[in-house]
């Protein structure tokens, strides 16, 4: 029997872990072939490829990000290969199964929930070995009537075969993100999350997990992401794993975790600050809201002060990047409340702040309560809301404008110095900057056209020129500093117009040749020839004191910025007063 396990990943670099657990569990009696595509691949091409394998069975792994594209593939595949059995599984189709079977009659079976045991027994049935009534955890239509079989007992995670040791995967381990589970389930009951449905947390065998990580690193894996819903729910387990990863990691490997920040004890953070190499770990932290009523309504227990303590300690340690999540549209969080949530979280200056929007996922409590909170939403994946009883669609659109520039100007860290100045010295709050700029960006139509790095600087400057009480000279100098900080070579083209004449440059060079310490002792030690100076240096008009800026002060100075570009290093900066001429 020819079996194909497939999915449409969001990107090529992603790896579907579920398919590999199913393949491992089906062996040795069956040997499914794993074929992964992306949601960008044309459906006709996917169907053509699947068809050429002449499969008896095709299993699709379904999620909110791929279900609509997957449905198109299924319908085309059943047309050209009507005898192929089509099986669906995954979080998107495990709930409201009656809707899915009637919407997609081409589907033969849906495997609900955890599928390792059910899928194998279903294959045995298709192969003529087991009666259909003996297959647990599946649903299907029989003579137009819905049949749902009871779930099997939970699998013993300690006994599951490895999903990583397939020879055909080895060559790509270093090219794609590798996902690893050390537990399943979540101890919390957040009503917007599917993880709240499974009661309790089960763990895999610790020694096996360590062996899997060693194998992945030995075979070139660079990004290993733990998919545990709360990696640090057990402090002793988290500490053991952190210690193992610190002791045995290989250069260039990054480990990512989803952690619950308000339960992380200070001594754990101090241990990481003291012992973790820089860049080895990355934390993803779901904050979602700082509104106490909202958190209570979604059954989310969160101590924001303790969360803030954790995020602050980690940031001060300087070893671990943090990605914090917010959700707009939760119950009783209106526009003003969300503005406060955003400002509460941005105050911690996370390396990344993701501004998401509530999705009423099938199977979640909030979807059941949608009418109670006045939700209107798209009834197609990913089920994003339009509005609720306290947040209008107009307001959601406005927040989306803020999200757009947040991604471009904060999360991509193209001009940190400029943004820091704007959100602390110019605009009333950080949210007001991102909101006002985002709305301006949308009205200019920039969201519908592409941009280069230089465009981001020019567009910000254009927006700021429309705002009151903005010292454009100071802001432009900060923008120039941010722009030049990213360069290793003198830029061929600058996004600003002001230039220093060749005569002035020569005069400054002569002064620096005579007294190089005017640009600092480090510059003096370079002992540059005139050729080296003009080849690797840039002098521009500048209106702030760089030395004071390094100490956290923005002080006006009518002068020049000297930038010396160093291959493999950050540029060297110094400010020179015009009086030196």
Sheet holding 138-142, edge to edge: 33-38, 3-9, 57-61, 85-89, 109-111, 138-142, 145-148
Mean pLDDT on 225-252? 94
Distances (CA, A) of 141 to 62, 109, 153, 563, 579: 19, 8, 23, 71, 86
Kindly tell me if the per-residue pLDDT of 580 is higher than 60.
no
pTM of this structure: 0.92
Residues sharing a CB contact under 8 Å with residue 61, sequence separation 6 or more, in sequence order: 5, 6, 7, 16, 18, 19, 89, 90
What are phi and psi for residue 378, nearest 5 degrees? -75, 125
Would you state the pLDDT for residue 581?
A: 46
The H or E element that residue 356 is part of is strand 352-357
Q: What is the DSSP letter of 288?
A: E
- Partner residues linked to 563 by β-bridges: 538, 573
**Mean model confidence pLDDT for the chain:** 94
Distance CA 261, CA 273 (A): 15
Q: What is the pLDDT of residues 507-564, one digit of tens each?
A: 888 888 888 888 888 888 888 888 888 888 899 999 999 989 989 899 988 899 999 9
Mean pLDDT on 41-58? 98
For tokens 């569990």, name the residue: 25
Q: Is 352 helix (H, G, I), strand (E, B) or coil?
A: strand
Would you state the pLDDT for residue 96?
A: 94
**Residue 538: closest CA among 580, 495, 491:** 491
Helices (H) and strands (E) in the chain, counts: 21, 20
């Amino acid at each position: 029997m020819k079996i194909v396990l497939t999915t449409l990943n969001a990107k090529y670099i992603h790896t579907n872990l579920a398919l590999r657990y199913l393949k491992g569990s089906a062996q040795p009696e069956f040997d499914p072939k794993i074929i992964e595509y992306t949601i960008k691949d044309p459906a006709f091409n996917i169907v053509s490829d699947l068809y050429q394998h002449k499969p008896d069975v095709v299993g699709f792994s379904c999620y909110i990000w791929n279900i609509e594209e997957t449905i198109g593939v299924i319908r085309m595949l059943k047309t050209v290969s009507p005898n192929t059995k089509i099986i669906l599984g995954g979080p998107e189709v495990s709930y409201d199964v009656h809707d899915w079977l009637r919407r997609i009659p081409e589907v033969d079976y849906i495997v609900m929930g955890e599928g390792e045991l059910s899928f194998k027994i279903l294959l045995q049935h298709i192969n003529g070995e087991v009666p259909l009534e003996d297959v647990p955890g599946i649903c299907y239509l029989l003579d137009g009537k819905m049949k749902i079989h009871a779930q099997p007992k939970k699998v013993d995670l300690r006994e599951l075969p490895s999903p990583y040791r397939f020879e055909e995967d080895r060559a790509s381990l270093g090219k794609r993100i590798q996902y690893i589970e050390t537990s399943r389930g979540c101890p919390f009951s957040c009503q917007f999350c599917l993880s709240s449905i499974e009661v309790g947390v089960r763990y895999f065998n610790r020694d096996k997990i360590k062996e899997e990580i060693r194998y992945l690193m030995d075979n070139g894996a660079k990004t290993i992401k733990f998919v545990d819903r709360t990696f640090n729910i057990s402090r002793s387990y988290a500490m053991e794993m952190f210690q193992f990863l610190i002791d045995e990691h290989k250069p260039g490997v990054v480990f990512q975790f989803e952690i619950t920040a308000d339960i992380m004890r200070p001594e754990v953070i101090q241990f990481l600050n003291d012992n973790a190499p820089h860049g080895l770990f990355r934390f993803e932290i779901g904050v979602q809201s700082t509104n106490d009523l909202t958190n209570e309504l979604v059954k989310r227990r969160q101590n924001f002060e303790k969360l803030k303590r954790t995020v602050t300690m980690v940031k001060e340690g300087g070893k671990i990047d943090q990605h914090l999540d917010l959700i707009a549209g939760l119950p009783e969080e209106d526009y003003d409340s969300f503005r406060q949530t955003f400002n509460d979280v941005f105050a911690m200056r996370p390396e990344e702040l993701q501004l998401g929007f509530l999705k009423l996922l099938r199977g979640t409590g909030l979807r059941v309560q949608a009418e109670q909170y006045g939700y209107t939403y798209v009834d197609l994946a990913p089920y994003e809301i339009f509005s609720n009883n306290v947040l209008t669609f107009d307001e959601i659109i406005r927040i989306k404008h803020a999200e757009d520039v947040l991604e471009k100007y904060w999360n991509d860290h193209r001009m940190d110095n400029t943004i820091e100045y704007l959100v602390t010295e110019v605009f009333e709050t950080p949210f007001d900057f991102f909101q006002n700029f985002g709305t301006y960006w949308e009205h200019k139509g920039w969201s519908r056209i592409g941009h280069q790095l230089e465009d981001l600087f020019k567009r910000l400057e254009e927006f700021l020129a429309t705002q009151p009480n903005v010292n454009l000279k100071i802001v432009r100098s900060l923008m120039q500093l941010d722009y030049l900080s990213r360069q290793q070579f003198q830029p061929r083209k600058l996004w600003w117009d002001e230039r220093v004449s060749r005569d002035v440059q020569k005069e400054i060079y002569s002064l620096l040749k005579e007294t190089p310490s005017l640009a600092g002792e480090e510059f003096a030690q370079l002992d540059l020839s005139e050729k080296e100076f003009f080849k690797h240096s840039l002098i521009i008009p500048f209106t702030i004191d760089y030395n004071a800026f390094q100490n956290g002060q923005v002080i006006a100075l009518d002068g020049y910025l000297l930038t010396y570009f160093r291959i493999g290093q950050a540029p060297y900066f110094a400010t020179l007063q015009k009086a030196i001429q």
